[in-house]
A and B are shown apart, each in its own frame.
Chain A
């Protein structure tokens, strides 16, 4: 049975981070899993780097980061992030564009219309469809834009 030393554990942790596993909890889970696999499978005089490289490759299809993306996707699917549905969002925007025409730019509309437009845009959170691939996400709401700007890539 192979016994991992602290240096090898640090190596695995650093590698997981470099491969895009940013959530500490996910990193710790993977570290423990890999360590058990190594300790249970590798011989005492086994080749750690070689075995690790093969093991980690079996965790993903294209890149390890997929695990984290999949976790975010599953969480987003269960969250119900939208205040307005897609149809409600477009209907509200269309209505807000028509209102000034109907009221012929009355004083009330001039004051409240920009505010309403901002409300619709900003109260429509994360207009992301979690089923759309990460690189192809469509921005419809201002809050989404802010969250993307603030998000760590």
Chain B
């Protein structure tokens, strides 16, 4: 089962920022693969969603970039800026809070281990 893009849209920024916080620097394809691996294919980030998000994060100064030349290609690595690190903590706090609220709102009973 994969989750719908609509469900993921509001959390994509947080997912990307958390991955960058955990992995120092990553490039686009690497991010998509890491998400697939960590979620056992349940979340598949599309290129159409990932790259606009990365560009917006860069424009907002939340990530910094460095490039690697591979022949005629350029690979762009993203890493969190100091502002981005602080913003990631805030985003995670907000998302955790939101999930707790949704659980309460939808009366979802957490699965017992």
B74: chain A residues at CB < 8 Å are 28, 31-32
A67: chain B residues at CB < 8 Å are 47-48, 51-52
CA distance A143 to B69 in the complex (A): 40
Q: Is the CB of A33 within 8 A of B29?
A: yes
Shortest distance between the CB of B10 and any CB in chain A (Å): 12
The verdict on A30 contacting B73 (CB below 8 Å), with A23-B55, A74-B56, A78-B60 known, is no
CA distance A84 to B109 in the complex (A): 46
B75 at the binding interface (Cβ < 8 Å): yes
Q: Is the CB of B56 within 8 A of A32?
A: no
**Total residues of chain A contacting the partner, CB 8 A:** 28
Q: Is the CB of B52 within 8 A of A32?
A: no
Binds B, one of A58-66, A85-93, A99-107, A121-129: A58-66
Q: Is the CB of B51 within 8 A of A30?
A: yes
Q: Is the CB of A31 within 8 A of B73?
A: yes
A153 at the binding interface (Cβ < 8 Å): no
Inter-chain residue pair count (beta carbon < 8 A): 70
B73: chain A residues at CB < 8 Å are 9, 28, 31-32, 35
Shortest distance between the CB of A72 and any CB in chain B (Å): 8
The verdict on A36 contacting B47 (CB below 8 Å), with A74-B53, A74-B56, A78-B56 known, is no
Shortest distance between the CB of B8 and any CB in chain A (Å): 14
CA distance A22 to B52 in the complex (A): 13
A sample of 15 more A-B contacts (CB under 8 A), given A26-B51, A59-B47, A75-B59, is A28-B73, A29-B28, A29-B54, A32-B27, A32-B70, A32-B74, A32-B76, A33-B51, A35-B73, A67-B48, A71-B51, A71-B52, A71-B56, A73-B52, A74-B53
User: B-contacting residues of A (Cβ < 8 Å)?
Assistant: 6, 9-10, 23, 25-26, 28-33, 35-37, 58-61, 66-68, 70-71, 73-75, 78
- Which 3 residue pairs across A and B have the least CB separation, nearest first? A74-B56, A70-B52, A71-B52
User: A-contacting residues of B (Cβ < 8 Å)?
Assistant: 27-29, 46-49, 51-56, 58-60, 67, 70-76
